[in-house]
């Protein structure tokens, strides 16, 4: 018999760690249908018949965020055989708030009481048996980090689910709320059964004023009227509104249960330690300098200390592989065009992207340290004010900053943001942060046109990227992403030492993700670009690249760039190949101009661009759609081709408009 | 008095949680319910948001949102009366 488990719990409750413990590295990562909410699932270790799905970290089953709605839909529609609810024992009151709502779903359930080691080490304790009796469901004390209690948790979950042992209690209310829930349950029992909804959940949600639940029921006007009346009575008796009444009802029950079962002499050591650490890390004076210092350190290690040598090593490895392959094919007398496809097309194309792997893995190493230690939430706290005006929260700050290194991990790291709207906006805006692969382009243009104004040009280009991101944020906030942003009400979890296991697993996961992209989308793109570069319209192989299909396309679209100040097929072709990887813009221009030295290249560039149009060209390259690897990452994170294509169109459109403005306005001043 | 006006380091009891929609619901869900004691721990370096301590955990919210939360100083009994 196969069993399906849902793993639910608050953010920062150790859910990911527990999920890793339950499934080992045997995980399938995807998205829930139609939303950019991550869905992970995998078979339970040693119990292949049991599959566990990791639901998003949420605090309540309210109908407001896509994470909460996904959780509700999953539990109500997929009918899991059991719910494993992870509860942070050091923060038990707030964690049990979700538990009470999950219990109402009437599905066999077990609570995994996590971080019990910390509770005990601080001299506090929880009477597990008594609490279990209060809640009417089994509770297993565990420590996901120390791998304690996991086997017992699995056994209990499987027992409860296979025996279909539903929660024993649903009544956590008293007085007026109790009366209202019971009266409404009585009225809607038929409709709830018809709609396949658990009765208790339905009744509570109706009292709470939950629109989605109300819409699922086929209630007649009379029933609606009576329900409204019951709720109004309750509200006037209590002197408060329905939502506050139910939140109060749940917390009152929890406070009572905790007073009886939780023995707490002091905050845990981790909490006390966190307060001391925060006295420095989020202090008025040191908060921002320390954050800047940490980010500089991360960038220095990633790009200079380790990234460059590793990238060179990777390049050498790829070169060796390519050379070996080339001589093998030579020996096997494989036809010329196939050799060129493999060497010039696939090896060169995929290779140039693959050499970014070390940087991406390193960045994810640091990102997971920031996230798992609890520091990422502090960054959000410190930087929130800066991002608020463009409709984002401080949570988006680090992904955007990583964008200055490489858009790929930046887009991938948007997954840790807790709201879908923020994720989408961050994915869209991050590529405006000029990535490191664009540096060779700036170098080339500066060398040719502005050798004495290096710093000025660089800074202005970066600033234009940031400015366009800000303007886009303002624009999107009032159009596509109109409506209330998800409120910034965020927990600052206690600092914890990240588990090496989780960090390694995440790095491996992201590396795999990137490699998969490299050998699918990027592989295809490399072949397509190679084909366009190597053949003419009659499908004959060309020796002179100016006769290739790509050159024809470059020629065809060249007039489009007249408003930006350049009208040359070599420039437009370079912009197209730049989509495979940004630094390709430089190599394409070098090849197409036939320049043998930098000085020659500079000279020929002088015939293609004026200094002003060269600058407009730079502005265009900063802003237009990111490389295929970043495109593939946004396709994966947004969960749709449409989203990724629209995003790229927007970015390219913004590039076109801004570059045109730069050129046309510039012309008014420079003759 | 509202929560955004409470000085860092001091605490009070929540009387009423105002506002509406997703924000208000989130505040309630996170345990900012009437009769709960809440402490303001600090203000972020740029002057906003603020760091709160309640129900044995640390929460951060923006000042604008904190302005929806009315407080009473002193004991829980006073809050109930109000």
Beta strand A47-54 pairing with A38-44 = antiparallel
Question: What does the pLDDT read at residue B81?
Answer: 41
> What integer pLDDT is reported at residue A528 of this predicted model?
87
Domains and CATH numbers, chain A: 3-162 (3.40.50.300), 175-263 (1.10.287.1770)
Nearest one of B79, B28, B74 to A248, comparing CA atoms: B28
* A353 SS3 class: helix
- A486 contact B CB<8A: yes
Looking at chain A from residue 386 to 415, which residues have their Cβ under 8 Å from any Cβ of chain B? 386, 388
Q: Which residue has the higher pLDDT, B51 or A360?
A: B51
**Gap between the Cα atoms of A588 and A551, Å rounded:** 11
Quick check: A488 and B24 CB within 8 A? no
| B29 contacts A488? CB cut-off 8 A | no
Q: Out of A2-11, A166-175, A182-191, which region has the weakest mean confidence (pLDDT)?
A: A166-175
Q: What's residue A484's pLDDT?
A: 66
Binned at pLDDT 50, 70 and 90, residue A483 comes out as: low
Within 8 A of B22 by CB-CB distance, chain A residues are 62, 64-65, 484, 486-487
**A491 in reach of chain B (CB within 8 A):** yes
| A531 reaches B (C-beta below 8 A) | no
The per-residue pLDDT for range A624-663, each reduced to its tens digit, is 999 989 999 999 888 889 999 999 999 999 999 999 999 9
Short-list A141, A156, A165, CA closest to A44: A156
Check CB contact of A488 with chain B, cutoff 8 Å.
yes
Report CB contact under 8 Å: A64, B60. no
pLDDT of B82 reads: 40
Give the integer Cα–Cα distance in Å for A432 and A462.
Answer: 9
Interchain proximity A243–B25, CB inside 8 Å: yes
Question: From CA A521, how far away is CA A381, in angstroms rounded?
Answer: 37
Q: Is the per-residue pLDDT at B77 higher than 60?
A: no
> How much is the pLDDT for A486?
72
Least confident range of A34-48, A111-125, A367-381: A34-48
Alpha-helical (H) ranges within A54-91 are 66-77
Q: Using a CB-CB distance cutoff of 8 angstroms, which residues of chain B are in contact with residue A211?
A: none
Structure tokens at B20: 């509406």
Long-range contacts of A165-170 (CB under 8 A, 24+ apart): A165/A108, A166/A106, A166/A107, A166/A108, A167/A103, A167/A106, A167/A108, A167/A109, A167/A135, A167/A136, A167/A137, A168/A136, A168/A137, A169/A103, A169/A135, A169/A136, A170/A103, A170/A104, A170/A106, A170/A136, A170/A200
Q: Does the beta-carbon distance from A384 to B56 stay under 8 Å?
A: no
Strands A125-126 and A262-263: antiparallel
Looking at residue A436, what is its pLDDT?
Answer: 87
pLDDT digits 0-9 by tens, A379-407: 999 999 998 888 888 889 888 988 998 89
Cβ separation of B44 and A247 shorter than 8 Å? Answer: no
**What mean pLDDT do residues A142-165 have?**
94
| Partner residue opposite A247 with nearest CB, options B33, B41, B48 | B33
Answer yes or no: is pLDDT of A212 > 60.
yes
Q: Is the pLDDT score of A36 beyond 80?
A: no
Strand order in the sheet with A489-491: A489-491, B57-61, B50-54, B37-43, B11-17, B69-72
Q: Please give the residue of chain A at the shortest CA–CA distance from B42.
A: A283
Q: Render pLDDT for A532-580 as a digit per residue (tens, 0 to 9).
A: 888 888 888 887 777 889 889 999 999 999 999 999 999 999 999 899 8
- Tell me what pLDDT residue B74 has: 65
- From the CA of B46, how many Å to the nearest CA of chain A? 7
Q: What is the interface size between A and B, counted as CB pairs within 8 Å? A: 127
- Whether pLDDT at B80 is above 70: no
Average confidence (pLDDT) over A418-444: 90
Which residues of B fall below an 8 Å CB-CB distance to A? 17, 21-31, 33-36, 41-49, 51, 55-62, 65
Of A414, A322, A422, nearest to A371 by C-alpha is: A414
Q: Which residues of B touch A97 (CB under 8 A)?
A: 29, 31
Averaged pLDDT score across all residues of chain A: 90
Name chain A contacts of B57, Cβ cutoff 8 Å. 91, 94, 491
Average pLDDT, chain B: 88
**Which positions in chain B touch A251 (Cβ < 8 Å)?**
31, 33, 36
Is the pLDDT assigned to residue A33 strictly greater than 80? no
**Out of B22, B35, B46, closest to residue A64 by CB:** B22
DSSP result, A184-196:
HHHHHHHHHHHHT
The predicted pLDDT at position B76 comes to 56
**Number of domains, chain B:** 1
Task: Identify the pLDDT of residue A93.
Answer: 94
pLDDT score recorded for residue A671: 66
Nearest to A94 among B26, B27, B55 (CB): B55
Q: Do B45 and A382 touch (CB under 8 A)?
A: yes
Nearest to B40 by CA among B56, B54, B55: B54
Identify the DSSP state of A561.
Answer: G
Q: Are strands B57-61 and A489-491 parallel, antiparallel or unpaired?
A: antiparallel
A65 part of contact set with chain B, CB < 8 Å: yes
Checking if the pLDDT of A485 tops 80, the result is no
Range of the domain at B62: 3-81
Residue A283 in contact with partner chain B when CB distance is under 8 A? yes
Neighbours of A49 (CB within 10 A): 11
CATH classification of the domain holding B70: 2.30.30.90
Neighbouring CB atoms inside 10 A of B9's CB total 9
Q: For residue A548, what are the CA distances in angstroms to A372, A544, A569, A575?
A: 51, 7, 12, 16
**Model confidence at A608: pLDDT above 50:** yes
- B24 CA: distance to closest CA in chain A (Å): 9
Structure tokens at A74: 């999953």
User: Per mean pLDDT, which range of A35-44, A282-291, A654-663 is the poorest?
Assistant: A35-44
Query: B66: pLDDT confidence band, cut at 50, 70 and 90?
Result: very high
Which residues on chain A are in Cβ contact (under 8 Å) with B47? 385
- Res. A530 pLDDT band, cuts 50 70 90: confident
Residues A287-330 have pLDDT tens digits of: 999 999 998 999 899 888 888 898 889 889 989 999 999 999 98
Q: Do A282 and B49 make contact, defined as CB atoms within 8 angstroms? A: no
Q: What percent of chain A has pLDDT over 70?
A: 99
Could you tell me how many helices (H) and strands (E) chain B has, helices first?
Answer: 3, 5
């Amino acid at each position: 018999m196969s069993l399906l488990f849902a793993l639910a719990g608050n953010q920062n409750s150790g859910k990911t760690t527990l999920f890793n413990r339950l499934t080992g590295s045997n995980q399938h990562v995807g998205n829930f249908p139609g939303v950019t909410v991550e869905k992970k699932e995998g078979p339970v270790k040693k119990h292949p018949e049991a599959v566990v799905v990791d639901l998003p970290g949420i605090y309540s089953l309210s109908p407001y965020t896509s994470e909460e709605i996904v959780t509700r839909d999953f539990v109500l529609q997929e009918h899991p055989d059991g719910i494993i609810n992870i509860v942070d024992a050091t923060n038990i009151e707030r964690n049990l708030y979700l538990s009470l709502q999950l219990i109402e779903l009437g599905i066999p359930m077990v609570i995994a009481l996590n971080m019990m080691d910390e509770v005990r080490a601080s001299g506090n304790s929880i009477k597990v048996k008594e609490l279990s009796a209060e809640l009417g469901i089994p509770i297993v004390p565990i420590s996901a980090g120390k791998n304690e209690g996991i086997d017992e948790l699995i056994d209990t979950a499987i027992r409860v689910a296979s025996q279909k042992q539903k929660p024993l209690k649903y009544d956590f209310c008293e007085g007026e709320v109790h009366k209202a829930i019971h009266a409404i349950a009585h009225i809607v029992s038929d409709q709830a059964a018809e709609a396949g909804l658990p009765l208790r959940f339905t009744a509570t949600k109706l009292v709470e004023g939950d629109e989605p639940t109300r819409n699922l029921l086929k209630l007649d006007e009379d029933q609606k009227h009576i329900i409204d009346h019951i709720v109004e009575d309750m509200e006037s008796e209590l002197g408060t509104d329905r939502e506050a009444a139910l939140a109060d009802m749940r917390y009152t029950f929890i406070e009572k249960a905790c007073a009886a079962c939780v023995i707490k002499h002091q905050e845990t050591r981790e909490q006390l330690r966190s307060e001391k650490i925060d006295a420095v890390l989020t202090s008025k004076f040191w908060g921002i300098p320390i954050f800047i210092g940490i980010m500089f350190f991360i960038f220095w290690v990633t790009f200079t200390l380790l990234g460059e040598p590793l990238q060179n090593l990777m390049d050498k490895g790829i070169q060796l592989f390519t050379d070996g392959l080339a001589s093998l094919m030579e020996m096997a007398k494989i036809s010329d065009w196939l050799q060129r496809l493999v060497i010039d097309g696939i090896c060169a194309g995929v290779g140039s992207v693959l050499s970014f792997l070390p940087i991406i893995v390193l960045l994810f190493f640091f990102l997971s340290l920031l996230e798992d230690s609890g520091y990422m939430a502090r960054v959000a706290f410190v930087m929130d004010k800066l991002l608020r005006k463009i409709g984002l929260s401080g949570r988006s700050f680090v992904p955007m900053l990583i964008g200055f290194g490489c858009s790929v991990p930046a887009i991938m790291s948007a997954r840790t943001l807790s709201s879908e709207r923020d994720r989408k906006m961050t994915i869209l805006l991050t590529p405006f942060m000029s990535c490191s692969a664009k540096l060779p382009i700036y170098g080339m243009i500066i060398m040719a046109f502005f050798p004495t104004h290096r710093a000025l040009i660089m800074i202005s280009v970066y600033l234009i990227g940031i400015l366009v991101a800000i303007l886009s944020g303002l624009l999107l906030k009032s159009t596509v992403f109109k409506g209330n942003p998800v409120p910034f009400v965020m927990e600052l979890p206690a600092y914890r030492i990240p588990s090496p296991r989780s960090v390694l697993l995440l790095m491996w996961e992201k590396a795999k993700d990137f490699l998969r992209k490299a050998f699918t989308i990027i592989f295809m793109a490399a072949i397509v670009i190679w084909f366009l570069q190597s053949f003419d319209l009659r499908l004959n192989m060309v020796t002179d690249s100016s006769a290739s299909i790509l050159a024809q396309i470059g020629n065809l679209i060249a007039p489009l760039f007249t408003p930006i100040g350049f009208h040359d097929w070599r420039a437009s072709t370079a912009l197209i190949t730049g989509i495979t990887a940004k630094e390709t813009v430089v190599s394409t221009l070098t090849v197409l101009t036939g320049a043998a030295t930098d000085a020659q290249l500079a000279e020929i560039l002088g015939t293609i661009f004026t200094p002003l149009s060269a600058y407009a060209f730079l502005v265009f390259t900063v802003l237009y759609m990111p490389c295929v690897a970043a495109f593939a990452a946004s396709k994966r994170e947004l969960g749709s081709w449409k989203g990724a294509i629209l995003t790229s169109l927007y970015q390219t459109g913004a590039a076109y408009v801004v570059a045109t403005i730069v050129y046309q306005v510039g012309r008014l001043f420079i003759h | 008095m509202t929560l955004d006006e409470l000085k860092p380091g001091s605490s009070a009891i929540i009387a009423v949680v105002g506002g509406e929609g997703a924000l208000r619901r989130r505040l309630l869900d996170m345990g900012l319910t009437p009769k709960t004691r809440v402490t303001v721990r600090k203000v972020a370096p740029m002057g906003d948001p603020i760091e709160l301590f309640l129900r044995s955990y640390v929460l951060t919210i923006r000042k604008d949102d904190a302005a929806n939360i009315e407080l009473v100083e002193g004991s829980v009994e006073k809050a109930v009366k109000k």
